[in-house]
């Protein structure tokens, strides 16, 4: 394939210069296969390398290993080019030049890469030398690579490439709407993330006003969000049918490499939540209602302190650098190595934490594969939730750093996502004993611990809600908006938190639209529940032997994607199971700890 004329235009080069810093010279100097002066905005330069890899003769096992190393180097460099453009777009959804550069990647580079990546994976799968790799030291690595690439080869269809590009355009539209969303309140304007501060204040009337201002702003875009979602569902159905699947659910389970559980396990998890988690949530909410002295809980009563104390404020949102330094001290208490790894993110400019206008919502960690550095993106507004988010994303960053040091092939650095979330959620709980760095007042420290543990329980119900919603959506792809709303309402009744929604029904009925995963990464949500159950196991083990628990955690993280999901759980000293058998004892332990903290 040839790139379009003008791919290396002065205008495009100027656009690229406005993005996040490119790879450092010392990183470029490490290249052995990819030319040091390559221009990734000119696809013809990438294509010549892809063709060479596709056509190279693999005479023996040594030649295959060299081929894999060269392919890995090229993939890492190209992947980082795209990742940096996505990061820049996330940080500046209101910058037309940055959006243009991102969409150039999405429309002119990425679609041309996919057929070549398919051919290279197919070459590996078909090679007679692949089986001989099993006789080498560390052969489990190649077994996992074969397992994953075989699934990719089976699913790839050229006709799906433009549909996947159309998906990205739609999710970009969703991000732009959210990034531009500003709420007028009390004479100022705020991002949705900043508005969350007002949902924690003691004055109930003020909380209600803030909640309504935020909710009404989101409702202004309800029709647009429905349209985008409808189009995404249609595209995804086509993608599944092209790949030979009757439904998008089965296609996605295969695409996400869910080799170790099925949709039935997800439905069984939902029943376990209904039976074992909801009673705990109802008890917590009844205690909240009684302490607030309310006849009923309303939507604006769920974030305020149950004893109506002033909100927790772990840091000043105008002093993000101090927030970073405090977090570094927390990691230092766990391990000086973790602290140094976290500090490297600041050193390399790989933190964008503050909430501001024109910024995509949410938070994530992105791996810069050639630089072998993580990047953390979030929207900090001075809330306890921001502490949880940074610790969570730092867990992902540590996972990437440990895995990339141990594994030379970029393809084998990423663990199954269910275990990636153990890395992040586990870090939230491993640092629990050190929350006093953010909250020197003992009372605030206990409140923060309570909030964290309560959140661990509540998230299981929300995961069940979102996961079951997706199963319904893609089992009924031709549904109407009214039918979708009815299905959502049933799930809210099943997994709801006893909130009185009288007069606020439109907000409740459209609440799913704020869940970014439904738009960006369909069916990616059950991972949070599986990981939370693993993280709670890790927390219990850390209470018995914190050094050993951390050692097991780091050892398992260093394995990257070279082991199966159950094997990674075992390496961390955990059980891979998300049924009632495991959930109920964990919830009992969490509830006992909550009662202990609340009584002190």
387 belongs to a structural domain: no
User: Residue 23's pLDDT is what?
Assistant: 86
Average pLDDT score over the chain: 93
Task: Please report the pLDDT score of residue 381 as a whole number.
Answer: 92
Instruction: Say what the pLDDT of residue 520 is.
Output: 96
pLDDT the model gives residue 33: 98
In this predicted structure, what is the pLDDT of residue 21? 56
| Coil vs helix vs strand at 156 | coil
User: How wide is the angle at C-alpha 292 spanned by C-alphas 290 and 298, nearest 5°?
Assistant: 95
Q: What is the pLDDT of residue 13?
A: 35
1 pLDDT exceeds 70?
A: no
- Both tokens of residue 362? 């949410």
* Contact criterion met (CB below 8 Å) for 359 and 191: yes
Tell me what the mean pLDDT of segment 462-470 comes to: 98
Q: Kindly indicate the confidence band of residue 498, based on its pLDDT and cuts at 50, 70 and 90.
A: confident
- The answer to whether residue 269 sits within a structural domain is no
**Domain contains 533:** no
* Axis-axis angle for helices 442-475, 481-495 (nearest 10): 140
- Burial (CB count <10 Å: 0-12, 13-18, 19+), residue 244: exposed
Report pLDDT digits (tens) over 503-559: 999 999 999 999 999 999 999 999 999 999 999 999 999 999 999 999 999 999 999
Tell which residue, 263, 61, 147, 255, has the closest CA to residue 563. 147
pLDDT in tens, 569-596: 999 999 999 999 999 999 999 999 999 9
Range of the domain at 137: 10-153
Predicted pLDDT at 19:
44
Query: What pLDDT, on the 0 to 100 scale, is given for residue 22?
Result: 78
Structurally, how many domains does the chain consist of? Answer: 1
Measure CA of the first residue to CA of the last residue in the chain; give whole Å: 68
Predicted pLDDT at 137: 55
pLDDT for 197 equals 93
Write the Ramachandran bin of 573: left for phi over 0, alpha for psi from -120 to 50, otherwise beta: left
Residue 484 CB neighbour total at 10 angstroms: 20
| Residue 17 clears pLDDT 50, i.e. is over it | no
Find the mean pLDDT for residues 355-373: 93
Q: Are 548 and 556 within 8 A, CB to CB? A: no
Q: Is residue 178 part of a domain?
A: no
Phi, psi of 7 (to 5 degrees): -55, -30
Residue 44, domain member (yes or no): yes
- pLDDT of residue 18 exceeding 80: no
HSE-up of residue 304 (Cα within 13 Å, Cβ side)? 28
Q: What is the pLDDT of residues 42-87, one digit of tens each?
A: 999 999 999 999 999 999 999 999 999 999 999 999 999 999 999 9
Q: Mind listing the pLDDT tens digit for each residue in 180-207?
A: 999 999 999 999 989 999 999 999 999 9
pLDDT for the residue 354? 94
Residues 6+ apart with CB under 8 A from 545: none
| Residue 78: its H or E element | helix 61-91
- Determine, yes or no, domain membership for 392: no
Q: Is residue 66 part of a domain?
A: yes
Tell me, yes or no, whether 426 lies in a domain.
no
Close Cβ partners of 112 (under 8 Å, ≥ 6 residues apart): 1, 3, 43, 47
User: Contact 384/451 with Cβ under 8 angstroms?
Assistant: yes
230-270: per-residue pLDDT in tens? 999 999 999 999 999 999 999 999 999 999 999 999 999 99
The CA-based diameter of the chain, rounded to the nearest angstrom, is 77
Which class for 466: exposed (0-12), middle (13-18), buried (19 or more C-beta within 10 A)?
buried
Q: In what order do the strands lie in the sheet with 351-354?
A: 351-354, 373-380, 364-368
Rounded CA separation 81/103 (Å): 13
pLDDT at position 361 is: 86
Report the pLDDT value the prediction gives residue 15, as an integer from 0 to 100: 34
Question: What is the model's pTM?
Answer: 0.90
Q: Enumerate residues 6+ apart whose C-beta is below 8 A from 45.
A: 35, 38, 39
Q: Are 297 and 290 in contact (CB under 8 A)?
A: no
């Amino acid at each position: 394939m040839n790139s379009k004329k003008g791919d290396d235009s002065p205008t495009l080069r100027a656009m690229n210069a406005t993005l996040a810093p490119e790879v450092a010279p010392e990183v470029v100097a490490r290249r052995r296969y990819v030319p040091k002066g390559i221009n990734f905005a000119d696809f013809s330069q990438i294509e010549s390398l892809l063709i060479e890899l596709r056509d190279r003769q693999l005479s023996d096992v040594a030649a295959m290993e060299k081929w894999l190393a060269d392919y890995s180097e090229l993939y890492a460099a190209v992947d980082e080019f795209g990742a940096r453009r996505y990061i820049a777009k996330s940080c500046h959804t209101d910058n037309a030049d940055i959006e243009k550069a991102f969409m150039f990647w999405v429309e002119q580079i990425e679609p041309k890469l996919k057929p070549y990546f398919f051919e290279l994976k197919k070459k590996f799968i078909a090679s007679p030398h692949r089986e001989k790799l099993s006789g080498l030291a560390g052969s489990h690595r190649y077994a996992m690579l074969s397992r994953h690439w075989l699934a990719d080869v089976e699913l790839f269809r050229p006709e799906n490439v433009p549909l996947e590009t159309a998906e990205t355009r739609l999710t970009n539209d969703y991000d732009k709407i959210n990034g531009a969303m500003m709420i007028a309140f009390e004479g100022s304007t705020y991002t949705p993330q900043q508005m969350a501060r007002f949902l924690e204040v003691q004055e109930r009337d003020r909380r209600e006003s803030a909640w309504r201002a935020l909710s009404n702003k989101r409702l202004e875009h309800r029709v647009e969000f429905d349209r985008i979602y409808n189009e995404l569902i249609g595209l995804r159905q086509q993608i599944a049918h092209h790949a030979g699947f009757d439904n998008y659910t089965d296609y996605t389970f295969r695409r996400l490499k869910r080799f170790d559980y099925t949709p039935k396990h997800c439905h069984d998890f939902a029943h376990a939540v209904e039976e074992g988690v909801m009673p705990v949530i109802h008890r917590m909410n009844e205690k909240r209602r009684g302490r607030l002295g309310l006849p009923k809980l309303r939507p604006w009563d769920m974030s305020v302190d149950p004893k109506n104390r002033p909100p927790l404020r772990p840091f000043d949102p105008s002093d993000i650098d101090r927030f970073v330094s405090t977090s570094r001290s927390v990691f230092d208490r766990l391990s000086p190595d973790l602290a140094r790894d976290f500090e490297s993110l600041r050193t390399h400019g790989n933190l964008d934490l503050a909430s501001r206008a024109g910024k995509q919502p949410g938070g994530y960690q992105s791996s810069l594969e050639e630089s072998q550095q993580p990047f953390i993106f979030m929207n900090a507004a001075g809330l306890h939730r921001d502490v949880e988010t940074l610790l969570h994303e730092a867990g992902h960053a540590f996972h990437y750093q440990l895995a990339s040091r141990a594994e030379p092939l970029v393809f084998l650095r990423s663990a199954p996502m269910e275990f990636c979330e153990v890395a992040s959620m586990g870090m939230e709980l491993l640092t629990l004993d050190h929350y006093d760095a953010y909250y020197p007042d003992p009372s605030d420290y206990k409140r923060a611990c309570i909030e964290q543990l309560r959140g661990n329980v509540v998230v299981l119900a929300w995961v069940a809600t979102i996961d079951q919603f997706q199963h319904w959506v893609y089992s009924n792809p031709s549904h109407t908006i009214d039918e979708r709303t009815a299905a959502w309402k049933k799930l809210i009744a099943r997994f709801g938190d006893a909130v009185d929604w009288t007069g606020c029904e439109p907000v409740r009925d459209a609440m799913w639209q704020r869940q970014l995963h439904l738009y960006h990464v369909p069916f990616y949500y059950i991972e949070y529940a599986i990981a939370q159950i693993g993280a709670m196991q890790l927390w219990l083990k850390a209470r018995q032997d914190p050094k050993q628990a951390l050692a097991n955690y780091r050892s398992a993280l260093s394995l990257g994607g070279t082991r199966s999901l159950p094997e990674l759980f075992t390496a961390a000293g955990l059980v891979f199971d998300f049924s009632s058998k495991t959930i109920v004892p964990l919830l009992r332990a969490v509830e006992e700890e909550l009662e202990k903290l609340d009584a002190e």
